[in-house]
Amino acid sequence: MTLEPLFIVELAALGLCTGFLAGLLGIGGGMIMVPFITAILTARGVAPDLSVKVAIATSMATIIFTSISSLRAHHKRGAVRWDIVTRLAPGIVLGAAIASLGVFSLLKGAWLAIFFAAFVSFSATQMLMNRKPKPTRTLPGTAGQLTAGTTIGFLSGLVGAGGGFVSVPFMTWCNVAIHQAVATSAALGFPIALANALGYIVSGQGVTGLPTGSVGYIYVPALVVIASASVIMAPLGVKAAHALPVASLKRVFASILYLLAAYMLYKGLST
């Protein structure tokens, strides 16, 4: 598969959009990238089942760079809850290892696509319902946050997203302010992406049919183009996040999730 100009333009446009949304919503951009990378690779001859896995792995690898860019912008505004980051990160690395080194390589791409659609739809519904948490509810203790981190890392590894689709609702449910939840989610995106990306590289060794230029399941040419474009836009998304009201953030978040869930459900059922 060659990197013709149109292919590069498509990947760059995707990177610009996902970089902005990563900063805006703290989602790492993965839930935007996976459906589009899947479509781009399938259209260029990659087997549908394999294109889903390559899209998930490549999406996760780009989040390593996007998360750093959006994290820096959020940190400058003092919005990152580093106390939460340090307690969730160990579990995140554990969950990511279980997903990317084991379960990911065993599941068919169609099942991963369907799982992506189901869980993202659930996350969107939770956001739109806008249930108010009990005023007395707070984040759980160290053991509870270790468990939550493991769950976030595992689910992220299966769908190629930075974890914001789980961590943002979890933190807001525990009465963390939405802007702090988005910023903290951006910080958590780095350990999630790094741990999962390493797992995809290892588990993808020896797999046949991967696009030329792949390292494990990660398609490096797409990673380079998307990451280069996304880091430009992430700070602009952060600026928008701090300017928008809470209700608007939640509606934007949920609407995007529903659209992507519908596409991936279609891909899963038709593969």
Q: Strand, helix or coil at 82? A: helix
pTM recorded for the entire structure: 0.77
User: What is the full per-residue pLDDT of the chain (271 aa) written as tens digits?
Assistant: 566 788 888 888 888 887 787 677 656 566 778 888 888 888 888 888 888 889 989 988 888 887 777 777 778 878 889 989 889 989 988 998 888 887 887 777 788 888 878 877 877 786 677 665 566 677 888 888 889 889 888 888 887 776 676 787 788 888 888 778 878 888 888 888 888 899 999 988 888 888 888 999 999 998 999 888 887 887 787 777 777 775 677 677 778 778 878 877 877 787 6
The separation between CA 205 and the C-alpha centre of its own chain, rounded to angstroms, equals 23
Question: Where do the domains of the chain lie?
Answer: 5-270
Residue with tokens 């599941």: 107
Q: Which residues contact 253 (CB under 8 A, 6 or more apart)?
A: 25, 27, 124, 127, 168
- Beta-bridge partners for 214: 219
Contact of 226 with 22, CB cutoff 8 Å: no
Q: Which residues contact 146 (CB under 8 A, 6 or more apart)?
A: 87, 88, 90, 91
> What does the block give as tokens for 141?
């203790």
Spatial distance between the Cα atoms of 67 and 192, rounded to a whole number of angstroms: 10
> What does the block give as tokens for 183?
């910023």
Spatial distance between the Cα atoms of 65 and 71, rounded to a whole number of angstroms: 10
Q: Kindly report the number of other CB atoms within 10 A of residue 162's CB atom.
A: 34
